[in-house]
Amino acid sequence: MIEATRQGDVMIVKLVHGKANALDLELCEAIVTRFNALRATPDKAIVLTGQGRMFSAGVDLPRLAEGGEHYVRRFLQSLHKLYETVFHHPKPVVAAVNGHAIAGGCVLASCADKRIAARDGGRIGVTELLVGVPFPAMAFEVMRFATAPQYFPDTILSGSTFATDEALKRGMIDEIVEPDHLLERALAAAHALGALPPETFAMTKAQIRQPLTDRMAKDAARVDALAEKVWTSPDTLARVRAYVAKTLRKS
């Protein structure tokens, strides 16, 4: 599910969960456990990446549809914890976006301090509205934080996915490199950030992200209650099943 290897003082966390690194309850919990454990290790930075041409395809929709209301409620809590843990991690986090980063996978990459993508490695974008589910509060705020303001409404409402050049233009990634140099460049970025004084970096990172923290404190409970109601409704689960049948199982 996760392969962890150390390169100097940087820990590489590689997602290896099925073909698509789809986010289910178990993968979310595994990433949270790994990132929490890294708070106490001597590693100075983290590189988060995927396998092959897949960073993460986002939420495991077939599992969601089959699990029903009870599973959805548990999953939404786990998904929130995933984004919160990665986004607020005190150590530098670099996303090496090796391939497709779709929907929840795009949000996960956007939690990082720096996002470096392999040129034409895959599509990047959030497709939640096409599936028929609203953004939980943390996911929405992460995307607001990571996306260039002038592109944010279209990025969210269109449900589109973008090639790496357009994703860079929209602020969804910070840098593009040739695929063969992705890990090398991500490690270099992680080493550079990790060389900063840890307490100073952590405090500055928290200051940069304070607007998200403030909005979450103000609105998250209300937004998540509404989102959960929609996600668990029979109509929504029926739309998810229809989307799976039309889009995913076709391939």
- pLDDT tens sequence across 10-32: 999 999 999 999 999 999 999 99
| 124-182 pLDDT, tens digit each | 999 999 999 999 999 999 999 999 999 999 999 999 999 999 999 999 999 999 999 99
Identify the residue whose tokens are 């937004």: 223
Q: Is 61 helix (H, G, I), strand (E, B) or coil?
A: helix
Q: Where are the domains of the chain?
A: 2-179
pLDDT at 250: 55
Strand partners, 56: 101
- pLDDT(249) > 70: no
- Alpha-carbon distance of 131 to 159, in angstroms, equals 9
Strand partners, 11: 6, 46
- Alpha-carbon distance of 156 to 135, in angstroms, equals 9
Question: What fold characterizes domain 2-179?
Answer: 2-enoyl-CoA Hydratase; Chain A, domain 1 (3.90.226)
- Residue 246's pLDDT band (cuts 50, 70, 90): confident
Average pLDDT, the chain: 96
- Alpha-carbon distance of 36 to 69, in angstroms, equals 28
- pLDDT(82) > 80: yes
Structure tokens at 33: 């456990």
| 63-80 pLDDT, tens digit each | 998 998 999 999 999 999
- Alpha-carbon distance of 27 to 104, in angstroms, equals 12
- pLDDT(113) > 70: yes
